[in-house]
Each structure stands twice: as structure tokens, then as C-alpha cells.
Structure 1
């Protein structure tokens, strides 16, 4: 069990669909999870004003999200968004981050059904899946001179200054990206003005963006509407060296890795990977085929 009380379940699954999927695949992994562990319904039940202490990733392949998405095209001088659906076929992974108790319960259920082929009705198609392997990760963070936070799935980043998820930000300043993990790390699962300002002050005086940070908007279909979300690779220079503050920042990053960033983390948004390397071995995004 993790000292933090949070862990990540990593699941390998083989899946196929009889027809194209049009909706965001965070809904697919959530459907698989609730099919196998129906008692988790209460964990996903919305409670207005409170953060859910569970994160589900969409389907992942080769380290990147696999989901239908909108492709922007210019037709007759106008930008038109065309949905590219997805036909499932092959091997995928997904993650579930939650309390150690929840992860232990899910691990036990998934472990019992490994290798069993299951069919699931999903919208206009039937998905056939087999859970191939499950493992538990207990993330630990130790800050160096900089940290890289890379999105696996796109994030919905609400502003901390307005009490609604509908007002979004499309920037990756430390406060915008990490204010929700900060509140959760303080064992506060709702928004208070006092804690928001503490979060902003701490994060903006502890991290600053490196020039190589990158962000782009990705449009996906969610509940029948085109939803703009942010893919990013945020590289932060760590400004502080005080041991107590470094431990606080490490807890915030641990929550970000385990429970995600932003809103709708329980629906597949905001899953991140956190990279920590020495400066001499700095990740050079220009040498990569894709910065994301």
C-alpha cells in the first residue's frame, strides 16, 4: 500500500468492436470498470461541488490516447470539424487511479477474470474485451531542478477563480494545471476561496514554465457535443529548494499522477505522466516525431 493512500491500477486489455465508436473512449474504460466492479457506481456518483477521488484513463496505445477525434479542415474558406471514428482491434492499456482500498478491490476483481472474454453493449456497437494483465503502481516523487508533466489524455482545465467547470483555460501555467491536485493533496475535496489563493501563490512561486513547453487543443465527441480539451507537455523549472516546500510539491505531483489534473478525471480526461530527469539528459522535444 502507498504511504500517500493513493495508487494506480494498470490494466492490459485486448478489445475489438463490431462497429465504429464515435464517443470518447474514457466512456469505454469506465463501462468496462463498472461491468466488472459494479459496486463502484457510488464512487462515480456526482456530488455537486466536490472532487471525485477516482481517475479513469481512456484506452491507451503506445503511450498515447486512442479515441475518436475531430479533424479540422478548411472548406470554401471555412474551418469544418470532421469526426474520425474508431474501430477497436488489438491490444490496449488503461489506468485507474484511486484510494488504495478502491485499487485493491478492483485488482482483486480484475485478477479473477483475467483471460475471460466478455461482451459489452456500447452505444451502437458490441465491444468484446479480455483483461490480460493487471498491476499496481505506487508513484513516488522526488523533485530535482525541473519536472515535465506530459498529458496522456487531453485535459479539461477549469479556472480556479470561477466556481464552474464550464469556464475553461487553455494554458499550462503551474496554477491552472495543478490547483486541483493541490486541493486534493490538502485533503480538501471542494473549492474554497482561501485554498485557491494559497494554491495559486504556492504553485506560481515554486514553478515557472520552460520555453520548450507545448500545448495544443484536441476536439473529441463527448455526450453528443464537440469538446475542446488540451494536450500538453509542460516543463517547469523548480524555483525553490526549501525541504518542506519540496515535500509539499512532491505530494501535489503524486496526486496529479494518480488522480489526474483538471475536471472530468473520472471520465477519462486529464491523465498525465510525470518525467524527472537530470538536466544533462534533458528531453529534447525537437528530436521527436511528435512533441506530445
Structure 2
């Protein structure tokens, strides 16, 4: 699945909205077909928790916005990309990197949240979120991307396949509150781990979609960004293995 990483630089120090994905909305001209990330600086997505009194500021240095969408739409967007003015300063486009992301895990995987996840109920349409690490809830959105299914019996069967052959390992999750469009939104952050019991159809496509577009709802607004890591044979992620080697 394609992801465009756009490196840009503000001319001046700039204050951004609490959910900095608003900058991506400017780049895509509000086109809701695109999935935009918060602004990324030094590998970290920027957003402000509602309890934090300090605004989100970006200095006149390089920062990145990740955008995904249909191949045709992405190509058209990048072809028309140019410097622009937003949030009281000029932004210069410095670089564009397009990557075809593919995540293939055979033993297990870990999802590390990079922006608040808003988990929704994939079975019944309700306003309340489902704060859980249950694999069918967490991977529902990327599964719907891959299969083009909406709530119903067909999606339920696909979700049941995930539940049968992927089990939840010990995970860490906690809730946070952020401000978006003037409203307080509750999301979750953490590291969610899963063990694969047997081959699952389309799992590679689902994990690739999760890595590019995220999980949960409001992914087009920058929520639900995750990093996907595969387990090694031991059940530890590649990052864990590296830490163990350093400790030795």
C-alpha cells in the first residue's frame, strides 16, 4: 500500500492546532479521500493532550506529513504539490518520498500507537468507543479497507477468522484526551501484541493497511497511527531483540 512522506519546512516558528494533522488537511485541500497523519518531527507525531497547557509549536526546521489514498489520487496530489501559506507562515516543500509498504508477519506482531486510537464497534453502529485490545476491534478498519466490506454478515465472518487464529498477548494500553475541532476526544495509546496461531487470509494486506492508514476511526484526521512490528521466533519483537543484545 502506497504512502507518501512529504518533508516541508516553515519559514518561521509556528503554532499548530492541538491535532497537527490539520496541516495535512491543508495539503490535501480538505479532500476526505486521503488519510493524513499529524506532523512528524524527529520520528514523533505531534499532538497536544487536553491537560497540557502548552501549545504545539514547530520551529523553522524540517518536518514530515504522511499521506495515503488511492494510487491515482496520490499521484495527482503530488503532481500538483507546491509551496503554500498556512497558519501565518509559508511552508516550503523540500522532499517527497513514496513507499510501497508491505508488512508480512508469520509468528506474531505488535502495534505501537503513534497517535490516539479511536476504536469503534465493527458489529453495531454506536457512538461509544470500544477500548480493548481485541484483535477483531483493533484490525477492523484496515480489514474493511482491504475487503471493501461494511458492517454485516460478510464482515462478521472475516472478523471471526481473525479471532479464531490470532490471540491477544499481554499488552499495554491507556486512555488519553486530546482536542480536535474544539472538542475533547478520548482515545487510547499503548503497545498491543498478538500471536498468530496459523496462516490468516489477507493478514499481510491488513497489517500493511494498518501501517499506512492506521487503526480505529477518524484515521483521515490523523488518529490511529501505529507502527507494526513482527515477532521473532521467540515471541519478542525485533526491537526487543536489539535491546537484549545491547544489555548483554
- How far did residue 168 of structure 1 move? 0.5
2:156 aligned with 1:197: yes
Q: CA RMSD in A?
A: 2.4
Q: Which runs of 4+ in 1 moved over 4 A?
A: 16-19
Select 1:158's aligned residue among 99, 120, 127.
120
Query: How far off its partner does 1:17 sit?
Result: 5.9
Aligned to 2:5: 10
Other-structure match for 2:45: 65
Return the match for 1:206 from 165, 178, 192: 165
Residue correspondences, number: 240
- Which residue number corresponds to residue 240 of structure 2? 284
Judge conservation of contact 2:135–2:166 (CA < 8 Å) in 1.
Answer: yes
Shift of 1:133: 0.7
1:223-252 deviations in whole A, cap 9, x for unaligned?
A: 1111111122212111113xxx3x411121
Distance 1:19 1:139, change over 3 A: closer
Match of 2:106 among 144, 161, 165: 144
Greater Cα offset, 136-145 or 82-91: 82-91
Query: Structure 2: 5+ residue runs without aligned partners?
Result: none
Question: What are structure 1's unaligned runs of at least 5 residues?
Answer: 1-5, 35-40, 45-52, 72-81
Structure 1 residue 84 displacement after superposition = 2.9
Contact 2:45 2:114 in 1 (8 A): yes
The correspondence for 1:130, drawn from 92, 96, 105, is 92
Matched position secondary structure for 1:84: coil
Q: Tell me the CA shift for residue 127 of structure 1.
A: 3.5
From 96, 107, 115, the equivalent of 2:67 is 96
Aligned equivalents of 1:145, 1:18: Cα separation in 2: 45
TM score, norm. by length of structure 2: 0.86
- Give secondary structure in 2 for the equivalent of 1:279: coil
Rounded to whole Å, the distance in 1 between the matches of 2:80 and 2:36 is 16
Residues 203 and 85 of structure 1, relative CA distance in 2, 3 Å threshold: same
TM-score by length of 1: 0.74
Partner of 1:85: 55
**What SS is found at the alignment partner of 2:137?**
helix
Equivalence for 1:184: 145
